[in-house]
Structure 1
Amino acid sequence: MQENIPLLKRMSLGIAYDGQAFNGWQTQPNGNTVQDYLERALTQFTDSPVATICAGRTDTGVHGIGQVVHFDTYANRRLYSWVRGVNALLPPTIRVRWAQEVSDDFHARFSAIARTYVYILRNETHLAPSWVGRAGLDFNSLNIEAMRQAGQYLVGQHDFSSFRSSICQAKSPVRTLELLDIQQQGVFIIFTLKANAFLHHMVRNIIGALVYVGKGRYQPEWIQDLLAQKDRKFSAPTFMPDGLYLVDVEYPENFHLPASAFDLKQPLQSLIQAL
C-alpha cells in the first residue's frame, strides 16, 4: 500500500501591520519584528520551522497594509484556515489578510513588478492624538503646487543616489518611479509613490526633500539638481517614518494573487478603510 507522502508547496500571504510597536520587518536578535512574530506563528501553526521572504522590508515605525510574503511548507490546510489559524497566534497589530497557494517560481520579492507606498502628512500645529504614530507632522505653511512641480522631476528612470540611505545594500541606485501624486484634503497631505522597486529610505528621503520645497527653502528645480549630484549629503534629512505605509505590491497575472482593493485615486479613503 502506497503511503501518502506530504508534498512541499509554496504559500503566499497578504499581511497588514501597525509598525509602531515593532523594530521594522526584518528579523532581529531581540525577536521584536513583524517577521519574527509571523514566523513564530507560522511555525506553531504548521508544527515545523517556517522561513518567510517578503516583498519589501519596512523600517521601524513604518506600516503595511499590502505586504506580501512567501514560504515553503509541507502543511496542508484550507486557505481560510491559513488566515484564521495564523491570526489566532499573532498579536492584534499583525493580520493575515489572505492566503494563496502559488507556483514554485513565485518569489515575493523578485516576482514583484511594482510597489506602492503612501505617506500621510498632517499639516497642522500639533498632531491629533488619534494620528500619533500613524501620520507625519509639519506645522509650516506648505506650498502644495511647488511640491507637485518638484515631484515631477523624480518621475521616470533615474539614479536615486541622492535619495538612498548610506547603508543601502542595493547593487544599483537606478529605479523607475512610475507615479508621484500629491493630494491635499483639509489638514492631510497625501503622497502616493509607485515604482518598480525602492531603495532603503528612498520614500522618506523624497518626502523630506519635497517638504523643504513646500516650505520655500528651495525652488522645485532643486530636485533636478539633487538627481544630477547623486550625493545624499546635499539632500534634506530623512523624514519621520510614522506616516509611511506599504499599500500594494503588484505581480504578473499568471500568479493569480488576489487583486488589490487599494484605490490610487483616493489613497486617504482607501487607507482609512484598511486601518
Structure 2
Amino acid sequence: MVLAALTEEGKLVELPQQDFLSVVKQAQEEGKTVLQYVQSITDSKEGLPYSMEELDLLTPIEAPEVWAAGVTYEKSREARNYEATGGKMDASTFYDKVYDAVRPEIFFKSTAARTVGPGQGVQLRSDSEWQIPEPELALVLDSSGTILGYTIGNDMSCRDIEGENPLYLPQAKMWKRSCSIGPAILLADSVENPYDFQIACRIFRDGEKVVEGSASTKQLKRKLDELVSFLKRDNELFEGTVLLTGTCIVPPNEFTLAGGDRVDIEISGIGVLSNPVLAAQ
C-alpha cells in the first residue's frame, strides 16, 4: 500500500507516511499546514510513473465514523416530502420543518468496516424496492471539528423504507457496503471557496447512461461550519471522522438501482468516485 499526493499538474508523488492522518500529524510537528508539508515533498521528489486511472485505489481515509446531514438542499426536501406523502408533490411535512429549523438533521451513516472505496461494490438491501445513490461533498475532520479536506461520498439510501416511517431512517441508511468515499482528499488549505464545487452523478446500466444530474454546493441551505458545529455539540469526534453534507441530485422518482449498475460521482477538483452496484444477498 502506497500513500501518494497528486499535484495540480498531475504529478503523482509517494509520501513517506502510510495514512492521511499521519501526514497531518507530521505537518503539525513541523509547524506547517498540511498543504505546505505536502508541497515540500512533491517539490523535492520525482513523480511516480503512473496515472490515477491506472491505480487500484483504496478509501483515502479509514474513517472511524461517517455521519451525514440531510435535507440541506431544496431538492432533497422535495424528494423527502414526495416519499413521506406517497407522491403528493405539493404536500408539506416535517421535512419542511427541519429544512427551515435552526437544528439540522444529522444522523450516523457508517463505520470503516461498512465503507467501501473506489471501484469496490456498494450493495443493495434485500428488503427495499426503491434504492438510489446520494452524491455528496464529504468533509474530513479532526477531533476538534476542523475541516482537513474534502472528498466524495455516496450515501446509499432506501427511499421506500424512509418514506414509510421516519423512525426507519437508520435502516434506510445503514447496512453493509451502504457507503463509499473517495477517490482522494482535496486539502482544505487549497480550496478558496467550498461553495463553488460542481457535483455530477451518472448511473450506467448495461453500458448505457440511464441517469445524469448535476448541482453545485452553492445551493447548500446551510454552511459547512454550521453542520460541523452541530455534529460536535456534546459529542466526541474521532480523528478522521467524515461528515457527508447532503445531496442535491436525486434520480427520477420512477428509478431504482439494480445489481450490475455503476454509479459515477464527480466533484470538481477531487475526481470521480466510481462504484459498481452489487445485488442484494
Q: TM over 0.5, yes or no?
A: no
TM-score, normalization by structure 2 = 0.26
TM-score, normalization by structure 1 = 0.26
Greater C-alpha radius of gyration: 1
Relative to its length, the structure with more strand (as a share) is: 2
